[in-house]
Amino acid sequence: MRRALVLLITAVLVLSACSQSSSDEDPGKSAGANADQPDTTQTTAAPEQSSSAASGGSGASESAGAGSISSAAAGEEYLSYANARFGFRCEVPGYFAADEGAVNGDGRGFTSPDFAVRVVCSGLNNVDRSTAAEAFAEAQQSLTSEGATVTYKVIRGDTFALSGLGSDGNLYYQRTVWGRGSSNTLLWTYPPEQKADLDPAVAHSAESFRPGDVTTSH
């Protein structure tokens, strides 16, 4: 199982390159596809964000890797990313820039205009067939061993969420849906000073995150 968690951390790091503990709270409410079709990114209407968080939107269209990108007007929409390999869907602020995605199709990263905020949506095969509870415990151990603090942790069935302060000084929020065959993860990292502005966007991403079929590998 440690191998699976190491692979998960490695996948997130590759894609990212260039407050009390609870057992009852909904993981989506607290935050510190088809394989022969390409990944797609489209816009969907979303609640208005604060002006400080919404700077930098352009409204232009561009292409990024396997997916088509239609950037959203600042403060008005979220980008909706559908992963073809693992079948999950996630939404991020429309003014974030999407990268080209991983060559193996396991996810995509998004970066804020000031390069301070990063969102990664990714999938991973569960090669060890570990349980969600085992992955939840291992993720916490991995974070603390790296010097991070875990200020929020919750698990419900096959879904768990973790947040806190990373060893790099940035806040993180992770939401993972874990199955016997694979897992899907949404990960935010951002500076503490942007927390108030980004809380609504992080919450929206968590609540709108839709996993694919995690009962099988992909």
**With bands split at pLDDT 50, 70 and 90, how would you rate the model's confidence at 212?**
very high
pLDDT digits 0-9 by tens, 61-117: 333 333 334 444 445 589 999 999 999 999 999 999 999 878 889 999 999 999 999
Domain spans of the chain, in order of start: 2-33+95-208
For 43-61, letters b (16+ CB in 10 Å) and e give beebeebeeebbeebeeee
For residue 189, the cross-strand partners are 118, 172
pLDDT of residue 133: 97
pLDDT of residue 11: 44
**H or E stretch at 16:** helix 2-16
pLDDT of residue 39: 54
pLDDT of residue 49: 39
Of 54 and 75, the one with more pLDDT: 75
Rounded Cα gap, residues 53 and 37, in angstroms? 33
pLDDT of residue 41: 52
Q: Is 128 exposed, middle or buried (0-12, 13-18, 19+ CB in 10 A)?
A: middle
pLDDT of residue 148: 97
Report the pLDDT averaged over residues 1-10: 45
- What the block records as the tokens of 159 is 């879904």
pLDDT digits 0-9 by tens, 8-23: 444 444 444 443 334 3
Question: What are the helix and strand counts (H, E) for the chain?
Answer: 3, 12
CATH class of 2-33+95-208: alpha beta
Full DSSP string of 38-92: --EEEEEE-PPPPTTTSTT----EEEETTEEEEPPPTTTEEEEEE-TTT--EEEE
pLDDT digits 0-9 by tens, 135-174: 999 999 999 999 999 999 999 999 999 999 999 999 999 9
Stated pTM of the model: 0.72
- What the block records as the tokens of 127 is 């090669």
